[in-house]
């Protein structure tokens, strides 16, 4: 297959992650053609030019539509704020481009539905940036569950916490606007939902509560503005096979930086994982003499592929950007028609549906079944 021509819209934190992945995927995996970094778009021409030079793109523009119209672009990375995802992804798909869009799909469920419908009609590959499922440790946990290493799973607890909204005197900014979503649920709790989907399938029913730790925030120009969405949420869930689950999400949790704490309990053991220590997990198996039973810490190692593509020795550790490189390789697999571990727009919409069901549950104060 000829090298893919890459277009990148947005050059903030996630834009840089995508650029790093496109630049590194050939070096790490070796079995793909090196992508051609063709076109980069930013909000203004000067910044676009600077970022194109830094990231290695041939062309720069302040018009994302010009990037999509570029015949040399085969794949469009959409890394802009959530409210722009739908318009950009749909335009790219209608232009015959493959799309790698950061999560979540869109604040409005109807827009997410349109994204999926356009992807189906286009015949192009459309995936979402849920790179935590690419962790070699997570892949191994999935294997262990499938092999019955902890028996039949019956209960799961998952927490996602960060502290970027923890300061009550932090300035009001767009993440507190209702127009961009419900808050913690669709801003980042979609990540643990992607892990639940990856390991166990989609959520079937929810009962949710959402909380505003702070009613308002100061404005830069003075005064205060009411916080419009919810920085914390608690959700009871039912998964397939009779599995009960609990989700707790808080983006105002002092001291937490990138925590996704996953506790999986089965009939013959347990698995514990924390994203802040993403290169290890703990396994408890109820076998042998009780006097020697206990949790075993297992470190990421070359045996947990594709860790071996990055590092030849155990215990050295991968990082967030490495998972993005793995995700990039899986996207290329999908474009090539190979089996790939990706979150498609189809699965992404079901995750979005779960989030909207949680919000509905909160407002109606009842359990919601997810069809």
Q: For the segment 336-345, what is each residue's pLDDT rounded down to a tens digit?
A: 999 999 999 9
The bridge status of strand 126-128 relative to strand 343-344 is antiparallel
Q: What is the mean pLDDT of residues 319-324?
A: 97
**Do 278 and 257 form a contact (C-beta atoms < 8 A)?**
no
Question: Domains in the chain, start-ordered, CATH in brackets?
Answer: 5-128 (3.40.50.720), 134-369 (3.30.360.10)
Q: Where is pLDDT greater, at 26 or 188?
A: 26
pLDDT, mean over the chain: 97
Burial letters 168-189, b for 16+ CB under 10 A, else e? eeeebeebbbeebbbbbbbbbb
- Measured between alpha carbons, how far is 174 from 99 in angstroms, rounded to an integer? 25
- Measured between alpha carbons, how far is 120 from 289 in angstroms, rounded to an integer? 54
**Do 14 and 101 form a contact (C-beta atoms < 8 A)?**
no
Q: What is the mean pLDDT of residues 61-87?
A: 97
For helices 45-55 and 13-29, the axis angle rounded to 10 degrees is 20
Q: What is the mean pLDDT of residues 238-249?
A: 96
Residues 6+ apart with CB under 8 A from 125: 98, 99, 331, 334, 335
Q: What is the mean pLDDT of residues 64-80?
A: 98
pLDDT for residue 73: 98
Q: For the segment 146-157, what is each residue's pLDDT rounded down to a tens digit?
A: 999 999 999 999
Q: For the segment 273-305, what is each residue's pLDDT rounded down to a tens digit?
A: 999 999 999 999 999 999 999 999 999 999 999
Share of the chain above pLDDT 70, in %: 100
pLDDT at 2 over 90: no
188-to-32, 101, 247, 248, 326 alpha-carbon distances in Å = 31, 15, 12, 11, 20
**Do 117 and 48 form a contact (C-beta atoms < 8 A)?**
no
Model confidence at 314, pLDDT cuts 50, 70, 90, reads very high
- Measured between alpha carbons, how far is 165 from 54 in angstroms, rounded to an integer? 30
Cα-Cα-Cα-Cα torsion 177, 180, 185, 187, nearest 10 degrees, comes to -100
Q: What is the mean pLDDT of residues 258-272?
A: 97
pTM for this model (two decimals): 0.95
pLDDT for residue 352: 95
pLDDT for residue 371: 80
pLDDT at 199 over 80: yes
Around Cβ 239, how many Cβ atoms within 10 Å?
Answer: 20
Share of the chain above pLDDT 90, in %: 97
pLDDT at 1 over 80: no
pLDDT at 36 over 90: yes
């Amino acid at each position: 297959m000829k090298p893919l021509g890459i277009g990148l819209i947005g050059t903030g934190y996630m834009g840089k992650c995508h650029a790093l992945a496109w630049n590194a995927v050939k070096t790490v995996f070796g079995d793909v053609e090196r992508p051609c970094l063709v076109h980069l778009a930013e909000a203004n021409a000067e910044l676009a030019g600077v970022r194109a030079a830094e990231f290695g793109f041939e062309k720069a523009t302040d018009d994302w539509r010009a990037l999509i119209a570029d015949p040399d672009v085969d794949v469009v990375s959409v890394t802009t704020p959530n409210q722009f995802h739908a318009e950009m992804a749909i335009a790219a798909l209608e232009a015959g481009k493959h799309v790698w869009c950061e999560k979540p799909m869109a604040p409005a469920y109807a827009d997410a539905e349109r994204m999926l419908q356009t992807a189906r009609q286009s015949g192009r590959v459309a995936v979402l940036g849920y790179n935590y499922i690419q962790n070699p440790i997570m892949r191994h946990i999935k294997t262990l569950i499938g092999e019955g290493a902890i028996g039949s799973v019956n209960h799961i607890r998952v927490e996602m916490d960060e502290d970027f909204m923890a300061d009550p005197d932090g300035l009001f900014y767009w993440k507190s606007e209702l127009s961009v979503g419900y808050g913690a649920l669709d801003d980042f709790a979609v990540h643990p939902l992607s892990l639940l989907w990856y390991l166990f399938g989609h959520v079937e029913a929810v009962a949710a509560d959402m909380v505003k730790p702070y009613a308002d925030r100061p404005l830069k120009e003075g005064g205060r503005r009411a916080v419009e969405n919810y920085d914390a949420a608690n959700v009871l869930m039912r998964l397939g096979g009779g599995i009960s689950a609990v989700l707790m999400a808080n983006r105002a949790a002092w001291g937490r930086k990138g925590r996704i704490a996953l506790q999986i309990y089965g009939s013959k053991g347990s698995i514990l994982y924390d994203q802040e220590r993403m290169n290890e997990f703990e396994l408890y198996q109820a076998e042998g003499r009780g006097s020697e039973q206990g949790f075993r810490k297992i470190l990421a190692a070359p045996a947990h592929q594709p860790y071996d593509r990055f590092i030849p020795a155990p215990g050295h550790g991968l990082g967030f950007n490495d998972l993005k490189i793995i995700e990039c390789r899986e996207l290329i697999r999908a474009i090539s028609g190979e089996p790939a571990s990706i979150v498609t727009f189809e699965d992404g919409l079901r995750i979005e549906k779960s989030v909207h069901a949680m919000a509905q549950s909160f407002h109606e104060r009842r359990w919601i079944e997810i069809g």
